[in-house]
Amino acid sequence: MSVEQLLFVYGTLRRGREHAPRLERARFVARATARGRLYLCHWPAFVDGAGFVVGELYAVDEDLLALLDAFEGEGCLYARERREVRDEYGGRRDAWLYRWLGSVDGCRPIPSGDVSRVRSVP
């Protein structure tokens, strides 16, 4: 049996977004925030920096995590990294997230840190 791990998602994998079905096998845990900044490049891009990014926390198994690594371009477009996130109940948890590896030059900043507040998101 595969061990569950926590994954923080902030963009197209969130509920109601176009790639949310990829998380059908995952268990929703809570809404959450992670320290960092969010940009809209071609895709939502989480980078290190001051501020908070709004997202969702899911429990995923290792098989699903491997599929998501392939989807996210882990090691090429994004790096999967462990970060501390704060859930909506005030709890601090360690979770995986995908940090953007590209440049944010020319990308649109999302000051709210919440991709759902942006009108035109791919």
Determine the pLDDT at residue 42.
86
Where exactly are the structural domains of the chain? 5-117
Confidence of residue 118 (pLDDT cuts 50, 70, 90): confident
Determine the pLDDT at residue 120.
60
Nearby residues of 15 by Cβ (< 8 Å), 6 or more positions away: 28, 56
Separation of alpha carbons 13 and 36, rounded Å: 18
Separation of alpha carbons 67 and 85, rounded Å: 22
Q: Per residue in 59-91, pLDDT tens?
A: 999 999 999 999 999 999 999 999 999 999 999
Determine the pLDDT at residue 1.
44
Confidence of residue 3 (pLDDT cuts 50, 70, 90): confident
Determine the pLDDT at residue 121.
52
Stretch 34-43: mean pLDDT: 95
Strand partners, 82: 96
The third-level CATH classification (topology) of the domain covering 5-117 is Hypothetical upf0131 protein ytfp (3.10.490)
